[in-house]
Homo-oligomer: A and B are copies of this chain.
Amino acid sequence: MSRCLGLLTGGGDAPGLNAVIRAFVKRGVGQLGWTVIGIEDSFNGLLDSPHRTLPLELRSCQGLLPRGGTILGTTNRGDPFDFPGPDGTRSDRSAELAAAIHDAGMEGLVVLGGDGTQAIAHRMMTEHGIPVIGVPKTIDNDLSATDLTFGFLSAVGVATEALDRLHTTAESHERVMLLEVMGRDAGHIALWAGLAGGADVILIPEIPYDAEMVAAKIRRRQEIGRLFSIVIVAEGALPARPDGTLPSAAERKRALAEGGGASVIAMREIQPHVDAEMRNCVLGHLQRGGSPVPIDRVLATRFGVGAADLVEADRWGEMVRLKNGVVGGVPLVDAISDYRFVDLEGEFVRTARSVGIEFGAQPI
C-alpha cells in the first residue's frame, strides 16, 4: 500500500519553503507514488473544525520553485500542547492533534519549521508516537546542526542590496547611515551582509559595543576624506554595559523594546561622539519576502529531496541538514537544542576586521 504523509510549514516564513514542498512532492508523489497532504497554518489546520488540509499533487507544484512564502500558510495560533481557547484559558490539545493525524491516514509528518515548531514535532513523536521528519527553517542561519539554511542568503541579498543603495545616498549627503537587519540573538545576517555590502561598522548581539569605538572609526574615515559611513546593526545588538556585566536575555529584550530598537539605540549612543548627520533604516519584513536567490532554491530542493529520502528509509525522528557539503539526516533531538552564534574568533569576524570593519570592541 502506498504511503500517506502530512506536511506542514510553521514559524516565520522564509524564502524557499515552497521550493522544499515542490521537491518533496516531485519525489514523493511523482516518483514514489505517495499521497502527501498539506496541513494549513502549521499544526492549526488539524485543530480547526473542519480540518484545513489540501492534497499536494504534481500540479500543485507548478510555479512554486521561485515563489516566496508558503502555499500552506504559517499563521500560528498556538502550541497544541498549550493551546489558547476563546476565553483565554489554555489547554493541551496534542492528543486531539494525534488523533486527527491518525484519522487522516497519515503515516507521519514532515515538518518544515524553526526550533519552536520542531520542538512541538518532537513532543508529538515522543509523547504521542507520531513519526516525524524535520526540515530546518531559520532565516537567521542560527542552527548549528546544519551548515546552511535556505532563506538566509536571500535575506543577506536583500540587506546587501539595501547597503548598496544606502552607499550612494550616504556619500552624496556625507551622512552616517544605519541599516537594521534581522538577528535577535545571532548576528549572521549582519555579518554576511556587512561583508558583502561594504559596511564600515557591524554591530551584532554577540559583541556588546562601545559607542565611542564606533565613533572613532567614523572619525578616522572623515579624517581621510571619507565623509560618510555605513553601519549595519542586527536587531539584537546593544551597547556594552558600563560595568562590563552581560545583560540577561530578558533584560536585553526589554532594553531593545524600551529603546525603540537596535538602530535607534545605536544612533542615540553614537551621535554625541560624531559630527555628522545620522539616519537609520529598518529592513524588517522585506528580508523575509520575495523569490529565493538561486542558492536557496537549490538548497531547498536538496532539503525537499533529502526529507523524502529520510521518509523512504524510515529514518523517523531525524532532521535533514547540510554538513560538509552533503545533505543528510541528524536526530531531531540533537538538532533542536543547538544554537549557532557568530564565532567571535572565527574566520568571518577576523576577515571583517582585516578589511577594516569595526565591531565596537577589541578582538578577543
Contact = CB atoms under 8 A, between A and B. Distances in A.
A290 interface: yes
Given A164-B290, A356-B26, A351 B195 contact: no
Contacts of A281: 282-286
What DSSP secondary structure best describes chain A's contact surface?
A: helix
A308 interface: yes
Contacts of A297: 160, 195-197
Contact of A354 (B227, B288, B293, B305): B305
Interface in A273-306: 279-286, 288-291, 293-295, 297-298, 301-302, 304-305
A12 B26 CA distance: 31
Contact of A162 (B62, B147, B286): B286
Contact of A168 (B168, B174, B290, B324): B290
Contact of A26 (B70, B171, B354): B354
A169 interface: yes
Interface string A331-364: 0000000000000000110110011100000000
A356 to B, nearest CB: 5
Nearest to A15: B168
A355 B23 contact: yes
Given A169-B285, A289-B164, A290-B168, A174 B75 contact: yes
Nearest to A58: B224
A74 interface: yes
B302 A168 contact: no
A184 B240 CA distance: 37
Interface in A157-215: 157-158, 160-162, 164-174, 177, 192-193, 195-198
A189 to B, nearest CB: 11
A267 interface: no
A159 B356 CA distance: 33
A326 B147 CA distance: 12
Given A73-B171, A74-B172, 20 more contacts: A17-B172, A23-B351, A27-B355, A58-B224, A62-B226, A68-B165, A70-B172, A75-B172, A157-B294, A160-B294, A169-B288, A169-B289, A192-B294, A192-B298, A193-B294, A196-B294, A281-B282, A301-B351, A302-B347, A302-B348
Interface of A: 9, 12-13, 15, 17, 22-23, 26-27, 30-31, 41, 58, 62, 65-70, 73-75, 147, 153, 156-158, 160-162, 164-174, 177, 192-193, 195-198, 224, 226-227, 279-286, 288-291, 293-295, 297-298, 301-302, 304-305, 308, 324-327, 347-348, 350-351, 354-356
15 contacts: A26-B356, A41-B174, A65-B196, A68-B165, A68-B168, A73-B172, A74-B173, A75-B172, A147-B325, A157-B294, A168-B290, A196-B294, A279-B284, A305-B354, A308-B354
